[in-house]
């Protein structure tokens, strides 16, 4: 099945859901694990046992699965992640607990991984084979400030719960467009939500971070540890473990949003609508397109989104509803094989048509040669308009290096399938697809170096696309606050500097 999406899904008889030198976005065809598959298991076993004893003496039963008995497949969105078996799983409830775990891991040189929501679709991002898994699901508070302008949110919370609690009070925050994603990973990689055009990325609306780093717990703000504050806005998990975020909160009661369902034959005119929408979005930043179409006010069919009704559509979920309702309206089944691949280009009328032809033709050719069970492919276009980028410059700007020269389009290739044995074929297909699309962008002069961290495959290191100046800043911050390079060496998951 092929799905095209920018709030507008295309159905095809199946469930609908919607390295880099010279910034070359071509990638290796085989998934590279984010760290060694077998850390020193004896050292890790010792660390796990000592942590269990220490926490039990403190009255905390938070260590489980010692000896590799935790089967975690159902705890991860992508089956690749759940296939790893850690030496133990520890579920801390506070930053102090996390600090104790990290110290013990450093003492025994045991590798570890940190899990917020478990939504990253590549092996080892938030799980580890034979090491310590730090599961932040119990660090899950949602505490609204008395003046209702900010909230403290635990890193292990999910956006579905955050939106539900805030929406009930006529409020919202900057998170993600898919509500089953964890707070921690999404904010460290950027985060794009219905309010993004008005207020910037999710990371730009973090007022302070509670971070475990080195042998201390820091409160990081624009004025305290400002260099680390900059690095955490898009720098991933390279600088410590963030346990709590204080985030800005904004008024948002009801909004108009959902999806239009189009037949594949109608998708070419929908692409034209999208490119026109992208060009005009600065005129009304309440309108935004991600995997949904959203207008962040209870206005039915506002002018900025009106053209999406013109192409014939078979169904619509568009209605006035809460953000929580919209972002949970599309099923996101867990436990299947999943992969993301991405690249970014300068918004252009012709390129998305070329990409859509790829989506149709390349899939047919691939499945004729490799009949991969359960294969579903999403071709998803997400505009990044100058207003969004301008609103990201608050508090010194983020690490992602985007400028307001022109509108950009992020392209996300999302593939779901059933069996691990088909992974090499799927990755070869995805590599060829992204390489071809990016080569076309180069030939048209609309290529762009940015690679969105939350959409990237493990072999697409986003930090090269942030530009050499910002990459140098990130590396300097890492060495300053983490001189032992614990979060580069002992926490191998995710994208490293």
User: pLDDT-derived band of residue 4, with 50, 70 and 90 as boundaries?
Assistant: low
Find residue 253's DSSP bridge partners.
Answer: none
pLDDT of residue 147: 98
| Buried-exposed string 458-478: b where 16+ CB fall within 10 A, e elsewhere | bbbbbbbbbbeebbebbeebb
Q: What is the pLDDT of residues 312-342, one digit of tens each?
A: 888 889 999 999 999 988 777 889 999 999 9
* pLDDT beyond 50 at 18: no
pLDDT of residue 207: 98
Residue 94 DSSP SS3: coil
CATH class as words, domain 142-252:
alpha beta
- DSSP H/E element including 114: strand 112-115
pLDDT of residue 487: 97
**Number of helical H runs and strand E runs in the chain:** 14, 22
Q: Are 191 and 184 in contact (CB under 8 A)?
A: no
* pTM of the entire predicted model: 0.92
* pLDDT beyond 90 at 36: no
* pLDDT beyond 70 at 181: yes
Residue 151 DSSP SS3: strand
* Angstrom distance (rounded) from CA 322 to CA 123: 34
What is Dmax (Cα atoms) for the chain? 66
CATH architecture classification, 41-138: 2-Layer Sandwich (3.30)
Mean pLDDT over each residue of the chain, to the nearest integer: 90
Phi-psi region of 416 (alpha: psi -120 to 50; beta: other; left: phi over 0): beta
Q: Could you give the residue ranges of the DSSP H alpha helices within 58-94?
A: 79-82
Mean predicted confidence (pLDDT) in 459-477: 97
Q: Where are the domains of the chain?
A: 41-138, 142-252
Mean predicted confidence (pLDDT) in 56-63: 94
Mean predicted confidence (pLDDT) in 161-169: 97
């Amino acid at each position: 099945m092929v799905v095209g999406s920018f709030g507008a899904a295309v159905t095809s008889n199946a469930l609908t859901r919607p390295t880099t030198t010279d910034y070359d976005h071509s990638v290796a065809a085989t998934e590279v694990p984010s760290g060694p598959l077998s850390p020193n298991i004896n050292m890790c076993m010792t660390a796990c046992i000592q942590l269990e004893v220490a926490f039990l003496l403190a009255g905390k039963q938070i260590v489980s699965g010692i000896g590799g008995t935790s089967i975690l497949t159902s705890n991860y969105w992508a089956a690749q992640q759940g296939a790893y078996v850690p030496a133990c799983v520890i579920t801390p409830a506070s930053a102090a607990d996390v600090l104790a775990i990290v110290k013990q891991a450093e003492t025994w040189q045991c590798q570890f991984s940190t899990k917020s929501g478990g939504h990253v679709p590549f092996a080892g991002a938030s799980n580890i084979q034979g090491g310590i898994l730090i599961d932040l699901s119990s660090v899950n508070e949602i505490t609204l400030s008395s003046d209702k302008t900010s909230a403290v949110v635990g890193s292990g919370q999910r956006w579905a719960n955050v939106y539900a609690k805030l929406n009930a009070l006529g409020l919202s925050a900057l998170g993600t467009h898919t509500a089953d994603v964890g707070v921690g990973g999404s904010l460290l990689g950027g985060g794009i939500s219905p309010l993004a055009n008005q207020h910037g990325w999710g990371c730009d609306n973090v007022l302070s971070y509670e971070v475990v780093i080195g042998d201390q717990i820091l409160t990081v703000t624009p004025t305290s540890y400002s260099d680390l504050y900059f690095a955490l806005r898009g720098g991933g998990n390279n600088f410590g473990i963030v346990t709590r975020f204080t985030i800005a909160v904004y008024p948002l009661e009801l909004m108009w949003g959902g999806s239009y369902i189009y037949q594949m034959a109608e998708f070419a005119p929908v692409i034209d609508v999208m490119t026109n929408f992208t060009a005009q979005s600065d005129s009304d930043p309440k309108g935004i397109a991600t995997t949904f179409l959203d207008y962040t006010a209870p206005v039915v069919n506002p002018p900025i989104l009106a053209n999406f009704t013109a192409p014939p559509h078979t169904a619509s979920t568009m209605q006035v509803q809460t953000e929580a309702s919209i972002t949970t309206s599309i099923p996101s089944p867990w436990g299947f094989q999943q992969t993301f691949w991405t690249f970014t280009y300068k918004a252009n009328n012709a390129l998305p048509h070329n990409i859509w032809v790829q989506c149709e033709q390349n899939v047919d050719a691939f499945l004729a040669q490799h009949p991969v069970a359960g294969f579903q492919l999403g071709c998803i276009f997400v505009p990044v308009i100058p207003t969004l980028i301008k609103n990201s410059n608050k508090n010194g700007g983020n690490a992602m290096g985007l400028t307001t020269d022109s509108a950009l389009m992020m392209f996300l290739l999302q593939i779901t399938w059933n069996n691990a044995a088909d992974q090499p074929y799927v990755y070869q297909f995805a590599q060829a697809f992204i390489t071809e699309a990016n080569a076309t962008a180069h030939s048209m002069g609309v290529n762009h170096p940015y690679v969105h961290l939350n959409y990237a495959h493990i072999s697409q290191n986003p930090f090269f696309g942030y530009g050499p100046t910002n990459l140098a800043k990130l590396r300097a911050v890492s060495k300053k606050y983490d001189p032992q390079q614990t979060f580069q060496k002992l926490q191998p998951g995710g994208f490293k500097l």
